[in-house]
Chains A and B, each alone.
Chain A
Amino acid sequence: MASHAVTLNDAQYEEQRDHRLLGFLFFLISDCIIFSSFIFTYLYLRSAAPVWPPPGVTPADLYMAGVNSIVLFGSGATMHFAMESFKHDKHLRFYWWMMATILLGSMFLGGQAIEYTNLIHENTLWTTSIYGSSFFSLTGLHGFHVFIGVCFLVVVLNQTLSGTYTKTRYFGLTAASLYWHFVDVIWVALFSILYVWR
């Protein structure tokens, strides 16, 4: 592209932000549909199976996932505080809340890695049963989203530190926080149908 430095006036920025926000919401809706599709597959297979979990399968541990869920929901809270701090121009607090969110997100991923290792030790793989295929594809898809979310947060934090966002113009931050809350909400659904519902 011919890069031409364009400075947007406020009205133009508002218009652009508006478009991006709506576009991003549509993206989240279609992402939600992808999860729904895998959730439907899981529910269908589960309801068609004579016994659940299938014989010989050790299901994932509820307590460990519970702890991990608290970590993820906590990161949703810290994300919220980070955004509030930014809106009130409290940059140092914003920085620490963002670091906390990134840390909690990474802890969730670490917890998931431990969970996967345990399951693999018990020979519950995604190839061995429909429990494995549903469990690993849903949590894996979600874990992938968390990973992307953590990267997203690192990038916007870096951008904030280098002064990309101002008090009135911070769409990147809004998008990152929306995405993070979306990932949280999806986890509520996954946690209930995969772990709580025995």
Chain B
Amino acid sequence: MAVVEVSHATSEHIHPPPETFVQKYVFSFDHKVIAVQYFITTGLFFVLAGLLAELMRAQLAGPNNHVLSVTMYNQAYSVHGSAMVWLVIIPVLTGAFGNLIMPLQIGARDVAFPWLNMFSFWLFPPAGILLFGSFLLGAPEAGWTEYPPISLQEPAGTSMWCAAIFLVGVSSTITGLNFLVTIIKMRAPGMTWTRMPLFVWATAVTAFLSFIATANLSAALLALFIERTFNVPYYDPSRGGSPVVWQHVFWFYSHPAVYIMVLPAFGIISEIIPTFARRPIFGYKAIAYSSTAIGLMSFMVWAHHMFTSGLAQWVQLPFMILTMAIAVPTGVKIFSWVATLWAGKIRLASPLLFVLGFLSTFTFGGITGIFLASVPADIHEHATYFVVAHLHYVLFGGSIFGIFAGLYYWWPKMTGRMLDERLAKLHFWTMFVSFNATFLPMHWIGLFGMPRRVATYDPVYGGTNLFISISAFVLGASMLIFAYNALRSAKHGELAGPNPWGARTLEWMIPSPPPYYNFDRIPIVLAAPYDYGQPLPYRDVAPEYLAAVPRF
């Protein structure tokens, strides 16, 4: 590649740091503070939604249990699903990780629109309050998909659900366009598209999906809300409407949303593997372009959630083929990650451990996804525990493992202190084993005839369900190890220093935690970041940060 002379295009322009408590910690414009706010709120919602899951497992521990009433059980799984998707995974991956890491990795001082960033965060706690508050007025019962007509017949809590998800949707749309402008316009000089860290690639595609797809969800929620409130027929079949319209519009959002929930996790994985394998990522371009391909294709596969809804056969076919096609770029990513481990100098630290867990479980989830893509097989598997197992393998085994990998990796950058490695490994092994013990058996009971969204079931599944419930309690308890580790690190954590893992992306070229305005001088980027063994490709970085050697 020809040597391009790059320099700072614009003069630098630094605002003074805020002084009052409210400006600093509440209505802060600083992307790092907003990221921490997201971490705290999503963490809280994760605990609440997780407790709902444990309640559900208590009810399902035996057939004909009466731990929860049937109505309570239905509300529990609906709010659990909605909260995990919209209040935990999407905001923690975009709002929290995207905000914390993306501006640092592109060498920017903040996002393009800091005020919008703050605004979009503050839409989010009211959404959580509305969603969990819906229990007071009769929470939604028809699952996170809220198919009409049953969602039209539910009590007022479902309207609160609409409002809550609408707010999250607006927040997600704003964050998406904010991030995409930031990535397109604010990369450090010399950072061409193919020199961008892969997490930034993933965030760019996610941001694109967020503001395109989420707008569509907002429209659907608006229509559902209007129909419930003013009795305007869109979905009610008895008045000429069609419930299938909702399914189309909902899944036109929610399938891309699946990738909103997993692409940033892919990005996290792509950052961690080269750092701990001490070698360049294998197939940088393949990973970057496959993210883009997955992002674009995700808009063309939504109807594979509706193979039993009575679609015409000529509609089902292209959706089946495209769904299968999307497995190809996903496979390319997985193979590239595994190949990055090949001939490395691997340090099996906790972030890498979680990444390996991710690779194992996500591959499994991806493969069961293919089982669901084939129309004839899906007709049997649809809406059974097979689907429950599949979606937890991709959203828990994929997203949540990715989130924990990222937390262990960037915790030192965010707080300046290390987490305890032994506790981290204990956390990983309990979580990995109990996760598989919880969700693996669900594939079989689903195939053999247990439908989803039931408060009770045929006693023949009793033994398996008891085993699943016990595993789920262990899985819940494994989160306590992380909570203890996080609290402990605040006081007893070893000081991290700027670059404890010896990584090479820009966020490690500044102190931990990063100072207000991040970079004294905006660095100049000369090459892609992953060439371990080569000198760092940055100019204008203070010399003390330029030795990228792991500390342990």
- Complex Cα distance, B137 from A141, in Å, reads 29
Is the CB–CB distance between B16 and A4 below 8 Å? yes
Q: Residue-by-residue, is B204-240 near A (CB-CB < 8 Å gives 1, otherwise 0)?
A: 0000000111111011100100110011111000011
B242 within 8 A of A: yes
Q: Are B177 and A2 in contact (CB under 8 A)?
A: no
| A49 touches which of B15, B18, B181, B240 (Cβ 8 Å) | B240
Q: Are A33 and B239 in contact (CB under 8 A)?
A: no
Partner of B15, one of A4, A9, A37, A40: A4
Binds A, one of B5-13, B83-91, B349-357, B472-480: B5-13
B31 to chain A, nearest CB (A): 15
Tell me, yes or no, whether B37 is within 8 Å of chain A by CB. Answer: no
Determine whether B285 belongs to the interface, using a CB cutoff of 8 Å to chain A.
no
Given A27-B177, A33-B219, A45 and B10 contact (CB-CB distance below 8 Å): no
Mark interface residues in A35-63 (1 if CB within 8 Å of B CB, else 0).
01110110011001100001000000000
Nearest B residue to A34 via CB reads B219
CB of B410, distance to nearest CB on chain A (Å):
26
Instruction: Tell me which residues across on chain B come within 8 A of A38, comparing CB atoms.
Output: 219, 223
Tell me how far the C-beta of A28 lies from the nearest C-beta in chain B, rounded to whole angstroms. Answer: 10
Say which residue of B11, B23, B216, B233 sits within 8 Å of A1 (CB atoms): B23
Compute how far the CA of A37 lies from the CA of B224 in the bound complex, rounded to whole angstroms. Answer: 13
CA distance A130 to B220 in the complex (A): 16
Assess whether A19 is in contact with B18, with CB atoms less than 8 Å apart: no
Q: Which 10 A-B pairs have the closest CB atoms?
A: A37-B219, A30-B215, A26-B177, A33-B215, A130-B240, A34-B219, A19-B112, A11-B10, A30-B211, A133-B232
Contact A31 B219 (CB under 8 A): no
The answer to whether the Cβ of A162 comes within 8 Å of any Cβ in the partner chain is: no
- Residue ID in chain B nearest A13 by CB atoms: B10
Q: Does A126 have its Cβ within 8 Å of any Cβ on chain B?
A: yes
- Whether A130 touches B216, Cβ cut-off 8 Å, given contacts A26-B181, A27-B177, A45-B245, is no
B: residues with CB less than 8 A from A are 9-11, 13, 15-16, 18-19, 23, 112-113, 173, 176-178, 180-181, 184-186, 211-216, 218-220, 223, 226-227, 230-234, 239-242, 244-245, 248-249, 252
Q: How far is the CB of A193 from chain B (nearest CB, A)?
A: 16
Chain A nearest CB, measured from B317 CB (Å): 20
CB-CB < 8 A to B18: which residues of A?
Answer: 2
Interface size on A, residues (CB 8 A): 40
- Cβ–Cβ contact A44 & B248, under 8 A: yes
**Is A129 an interface residue when CB atoms closer than 8 A count as contact?**
yes
**A11 and B11 form a contact (CB under 8 A):** yes
A106: B residues at CB distance < 8 A: none
Q: What is the count of residue pairs linking A and B with beta-carbon distances less than 8 angstroms?
A: 114
On whether the beta carbons of A33 and B216 are closer than 8 Å, the reply is yes
CB-based contact A2/B223 at 8 Å: no
- A41 and B245 contacting across the interface, CB-CB below 8 Å: yes
- Which B residues are in CB contact (< 8 Å) with A14? 10
A54 x B240 contact (CB < 8 A): yes
Complex Cα distance A113/B165, Å? 32
Docked CA distance A40–B16 (Å):
49
Instruction: Give 15 pairs: A residue, B residue, CB < 8 Å, sorted on A.
Output: A4-B15, A6-B15, A11-B9, A15-B185, A26-B176, A26-B177, A27-B211, A34-B215, A37-B216, A37-B252, A41-B249, A49-B240, A127-B233, A129-B239, A133-B241
Q: Is the CB of B181 within 8 A of A22?
A: yes
A29 to B329, CA, bound (A): 27
Contacts of B173 in A (CB 8 A): 30
Contacts of A36 in B (CB 8 A): 216
Any chain B CB within 8 A of the CB of A137? yes
Query: Cβ of A134: which chain B residues have Cβ within 8 Å of it?
Result: 234
Known: A18-B185, A133-B227, A137-B234. 13 other contacts (CB 8 A): A4-B16, A12-B11, A30-B173, A31-B215, A38-B223, A40-B245, A41-B223, A41-B234, A41-B249, A44-B248, A54-B240, A127-B233, A129-B240
Report the bound CA distance from A23 to B241 in whole Å.
36
Contacting residue for A45 out of B19, B230, B240, CB 8 A: B240
**B-chain residues with CB within 8 Å of residue A19 when the two chains form the complex:** 112-113, 181, 185-186
Question: What A residues does B211 contact at CB under 8 A?
Answer: 26-27, 29-30
Provided the pairs A40-B249, A45-B245 are in contact, do residues A23 and B178 lie with their beta carbons within 8 angstroms?
A: yes
Most buried by A among B178, B218, B231, B241: B241
The smallest C-beta distance from B179 to any residue of chain A, in angstroms, reads 10
Q: Give the distance to chain B from A113, nearest Cβ to Cβ, in Å.
A: 19
Give the residue name and chain of the A residue nearest to B231 (CB). Answer: A127
Are B16 and A15 closer than 8 Å at their CB atoms? no
**CA A54 – CA B240 in complex, angstroms?**
9
Closest B residue by C-beta to A35: B219
Which residues of chain A come closer than 8 Å to B180, judged between CB atoms? 26
| A8 / chain B contacts, CB cutoff of 8 Å | 13
Cross-interface CB contact of A23 among B10, B113, B234, cutoff 8 Å: B113
Judging by beta carbons under 8 Å apart, are B212 and A37 in contact?
no
What is the CA–CA distance of A140 and B391 in the complex, to the nearest angstrom? 38
Tell me, in angstroms, the Cα distance from A2 to B240 when the chains sit together: 55
Complex alpha-carbon distance, A34 and B249, angstroms? 11
Contact of B232 among A12, A29, A137 (CB under 8 A): A137
Chain A residues closer than 8 Å to B177, beta-carbon distance: 23, 26-27, 30
A19-B113, A23-B112, A44-B245 given as contacts; is B13 within 8 A of A29 (CB)?
no
**Separation of A31 and B219 alpha carbons in the complex (Å):** 10
Given A126-B230, A133-B233, verify A45-B215 contact (CB < 8 Å): no
